[in-house]
Amino acid sequence: MTALDLSSPVAVVGTGTMGQGIAQVALVAGHPVRLYDTAPGRAQAAADAIGARLDRLVEKDRLTGADRDAARARLTAAGTLADLADCSLVVEAVLERLDVKQELFRELEDVVGEDCLLATNTSSLSVTAIGGALRNPGRLVGLHFFNPAPLLPLVEVVSGFATDVTSATRAYETARAWGKTPVACADTPGFIVNRIARPFYAEAFAVYEAQGADPATIDAVLRESGGFRMGAFELTDLIGQDVNESVTHSVWESFFRDVRFTPSLAQRRLVESGRLGRKSGHGWYDHGPDAEPAEPHTAEPCRPPAHVTAEGDLGPASELLALIREAGIQVREDEEDHGTRLVLPSGGQLALADGQTSVEFRDVVYFDLALDYRRATRIALSASQDTAPQTLTEAIGLFQALGKDVSVIGDVPGMIVARTVARIVDLAHDAVAKGVATEEDVDTAMRLGVNYPLGPFEWSRRLGRNWAYALLDDLHLRDPSGRYAPSLALYRHAYATDKREGSTS
């Protein structure tokens, strides 16, 4: 099954920001496009707005004047649904209400031809449920664009329970012909991106609710250590706290209130107070005209240790050993010990976050996971009230000697980046095991849909097959609510590796 021919008319119903963006994508690709909206005058206003954006593309040399004129000639505002009768594809981008969408598609079935492909851009509703109102649900598919549709490349092509393979394939190939990067997805709550991305927000909020760190510090660690483009607090302020919480709540409800997707009470209070983010002038942060940027906690300069003793290779943080040597600090190696930690001159230990807490051990400081320890500009450390001050001072000085800003957070198991990445990896394995998408499509979706520095399976391969399972298993022991219980898919993934290596543990 191939993509729609460029001569085939495409209709977009709903002319808000997303509807206009999808129409622009189809229009620039070369299709005749028809806009329809139930509100009088809105379709024409949307067509005018799209025309203005085409003018700006010409000004930026991203579109020729001739192509702009041809596109404008192909764009029309439809007065009634009957004007869409000869369209080969109709994409709806209307209100996120199941009854509204079902009624629209029932009306469209009476208008368009039998071979017309019907698509919903829903981000939170079930494609299966929307199609359940149709006589022929096999021709309904999800085409989930990301905002702004003309700029972001990802499109999730969602097959409902009754979607025909031919319909899904035609939608997939059409999205690709439009210059997008499509990924195939089964009809699951949140699809790929909104399902697997929940821990990015949830774990940041959980650290905050546990008084482990303030929003500015958590965001800085996610950016400067984890390699994420934005932190969870600043990103949700940009998205809108009400919008982000609504998606989280929808996924949670759709999974029968699975504890892994539980919404944040702190975010709920933020929404209830009307602090919705940038659009209201205040969210996690103050966005008023005179507001000062919130600064992360950064430790004062400390003297670095003269030497450290490496017990083991530090696992995913092994590149630190080379950085320490380059900083002129002697690294002594204990070949008899098979641990994965550094021993400081005071006798205290420095270990990579593993899901345990500092208070459980004598004089241990944990450090957080980094995407790239050489390029990271900030490292988070975690200590308990029982940690010797000299141990923490030496740990701070060590990372400062490597050119890093240091943020000391509370005694939070799994810290910030490590627990976030582990949970993302777990949900990704669980989704693939349940047939939601392929590993390749999951990685593509998370990189392109939410700009993650690595896809979950890329993280998994880099960190080692057992890393995420071991961290979550330790977290689960300390929080037996089920939130951190590793999925069966992740367990199988880790156990298979151990079995091949001859371990029965």
Contacts of 17 (CB under 8 A, 6+ apart): 147, 148
Any idea which residues carry the catalytic annotation?
Answer: 123, 144, 156, 194
Tokens representing residue 212 in the block: 């482990």
Tokens representing residue 17 in the block: 């920001």
Residue linked to tokens 């949700």: 236
The beta strands (E) that lie in 291-329 are given as 307-311
3-class secondary-structure state, position 456: helix
For 254, other C-beta atoms within 10 Å of its C-beta total: 17
d(Cα 236, Cα 223) in Å, to the nearest integer? Answer: 14
Pairing of strands 140-145, 154-159: antiparallel
d(Cα 216, Cα 208) in Å, to the nearest integer? Answer: 10
- Indicate the helix (H) or strand (E) that contains 12: strand 10-13
For 65, other C-beta atoms within 10 Å of its C-beta total: 10
Q: Round to the nearest angstrom and report the end-to-end CA distance of the chain.
A: 49
Would you say the C-alpha torsion 446, 447, 451, 452 has a positive or negative sign?
A: positive
3-class secondary-structure state, position 490: helix
d(Cα 380, Cα 389) in Å, to the nearest integer? Answer: 16
d(Cα 31, Cα 85) in Å, to the nearest integer? Answer: 16
The beta strands (E) that lie in 284-377 are given as 307-311, 330-333, 341-343, 349-352, 364-367
Would you say the C-alpha torsion 347, 314, 396, 216 has a positive or negative sign?
A: negative
3-class secondary-structure state, position 158: strand
The edge-to-edge listing of strands for the beta sheet with 117-120 is 75-77, 33-36, 10-13, 89-92, 117-120, 140-145, 154-159, 181-186
d(Cα 291, Cα 209) in Å, to the nearest integer? Answer: 24
Tokens representing residue 19 in the block: 């509807």
